Amino acid sequence: MLSINEVFGFIRPDIDIHTLGVTTVGKLLEDCGYKVLIGNAMIASAVAQISKLDNISLLTKWIHQHQITRLGFSYRLDPSNAQLYFGKIVYLLRSNKMFSEQGGPLRKLYFAGLPEACFRIEKEYNGEFPTFIGDETQMETLLKLEVPAEIIPAIISKSSKYDDDRLSFAKELVESGSYRLFQREMATNYSEFGSFKDSLAKRINANRKKSTLPLTRVHVGPYQPNYAEAKKEFLSWLHKLSSAGLLDIVSVGSSQLSQSDFGTDWGDRPNGGGVPINSEKDLRDIWQAARPMLVRTYSATRNVPQMAEVYERTINIAWHALSLWWFNKIDGRGPNNVLENLKQHFDALKVIAQHGKPFEPNIPHHFSFRGGDDYTYVLSAYLAALIAKKLGIRYFVLQTMLNTPKYTWGVQDLAKSRSLLKLVRELEDKTFTVFHQPRAGLDYFSPDIEKAKNQLAAVTMMMDDIEPSKANSPDIIHVVSYCEAVKLATPEFINESIQITLSALNEYRYAKQKGLMDEIIYNKDVWERTEDLYSEVKNVVRFLEGRIPNLYSPEGFYEVFRSGVFIVPYLWEGREEFSEAARWKTNLINGGIYVIDDNGIPIKPMKRMPNLFNII
């Protein structure tokens, strides 16, 4: 059993920039009362060339100086190099008699890396050194590090219990194989079904009369360098998905060139992955092959309003997704700068409103990808909803990406989603309707296929806990296929993932009705965090409305980002332009992401606002 007096040290070579996992585990251990040291740049440089005599001396001196008894080595790049680096570490530590059985200080050595690297190291050393592939829960991580369960803070074990209970229930469902028998009957009970006059609102309304299960949406597209073959394969996939009868909305995974250079001569430029779409005929072919499914695709990253019109007349796009502050130069996804991007997106919103089509803000998770705090997540989507209503959008598709970052707790995901839904539902009236569309996080799934199936079922169950008192919530589920951590989602994987998703939702609802699962709706921690996020974001919006002239304009939204209201510590491009947004630090605290000061103390948004706008 691990003594509270033991000291953890974490190291990595400086060529590996992946440090988030290390800092997260370090914070978890500190919350349990352990001292944690993370090797600085000098140690990282030494580890990268550990065979040099001076470098191993530097590492062993660091271990002795800080009385480190447990050492973790992280390397998340090439598995062969990982095995080589780790082998050198083991050999040199043994040569210098650093392990406890040799009279040294180290009682345990750990490795964290890619699954293949972990497999190789476990095989080479017969399991002597525990390995971590990065998909472990906080509780799994601490127990694997031999932290006694009785000293793990109650809030970790309590929050983990919600996640663990769902995973356990999901595992039973998946192992039974009963989901494979799941079939659904589409809501075809309206005259426009599958025609060019069909729409998302019509299909949702028809589905509500027939079932409490949501519509399903997937993002799909093969990856082939040959344009013609990629198009042919994609049309074949659409026929397969359509004939299976499980999918309502297909979201076209178009290539980067399709988004940035539609209708131009691509020459021999690489497609960049995804479906190559370069003409209106390509789009019409997709719509025809997809029937009766509804079709949508990525927004363009150039000439955005004009391309919105193209999508309307070719695929009768189910809804438009715009990223406002993203999909431009700062994330390498488009040619516009942020202000020009906002101008084009505002114009595109007017086009969408004229066509009476829904709008989805493909926004909040992009801030989370770059280290943004939970308040930024909620605020960015709420501002998008406010401008959407002001510009005449009638239907608002709110996508909430769960498990983002993947180490957040389920109760925090519930709070973020509930607070955001509470905010946007307050805007609902006869002219503005909200459709909720939750999804799993991009990097949530384990590379272990069977475990990933369990995760898919478990995250689906959490979706039902966001608005458990609403029989028809969620309206849509964006199904992320369980295989996506290791391979491309083909129609076979997609159809099975939909079966797991809808079956899990059915079974979870039945279990809650029978009292077999706890009702998270009454969880005190979730309610308190929901109200905190809700009230803070409300206050920030009121503050911004009084401080930024013409807030609801491209220039106003640009100023929100530039001034540092949003948080993006991991922004790589445009850091000088958005230095105020990038200068803040964030950390995982109680399963949520917070802005912190130099002492690690959380700072709420309204505490930061006066300083951002030079108010004394």
What is the per-residue pLDDT across 393-407, written as a single tens digit (0 to 9) for each? 999 999 999 998 887
In this structure, what DSSP letter does residue 178 have? Answer: G
> What is the reported pLDDT for 616?
43
> What is the reported pLDDT for 17?
58
Average of per-residue pLDDT values in the chain: 93
Looking at residue 173, its amino acid is: L
> What is the reported pLDDT for 520?
79
SS (H, E, C) 353-413: HHHCCCEEECCHHHHHHCCCCHHHHHHHHHHHHHHHHHCCCCEEEEEEECCCCCCCCHHHH
Assigned token pair, 499: 């079966």
SS3 label, residue 576: coil
> What is the reported pLDDT for 270?
74
> What is the reported pLDDT for 52?
87
Confidence of residue 160 (pLDDT cuts 50, 70, 90): confident
Residues above pLDDT 70, as percent of the chain: 98
Residues above pLDDT 90, as percent of the chain: 74
Where is average pLDDT lowest: 8-12, 229-233, 265-269, 329-333? 265-269
Domain ranges of the chain: 7-152
What is the per-residue pLDDT across 500-517, written as a single tens digit (0 to 9) for each? 999 999 999 999 999 888
Task: Using CB atoms within 10 Å of the CB of residue 163, give its burial: 0 to 12 exposed, 13 to 18 middle, 19+ buried.
Answer: buried
Whether residue 469 is predicted with pLDDT greater than 60 in this model: the reply is yes
What is the per-residue pLDDT across 170-219, written as a single tens digit (0 to 9) for each? 999 999 999 999 998 888 989 999 999 999 999 999 999 999 999 999 99
Matching residue, tokens 């002219």: 431
Task: Quickly name the fold that domain 7-152 has.
Answer: Rossmann fold (3.40.50)
CA–CA distance from 554 to each of 392, 484, 542 (Å)? 16, 36, 18
In this structure, what DSSP letter does residue 548 have? Answer: S
**pTM (two decimals):** 0.84
Q: Which residue has the higher pLDDT, 260 or 536?
A: 536
> What is the reported pLDDT for 378?
98
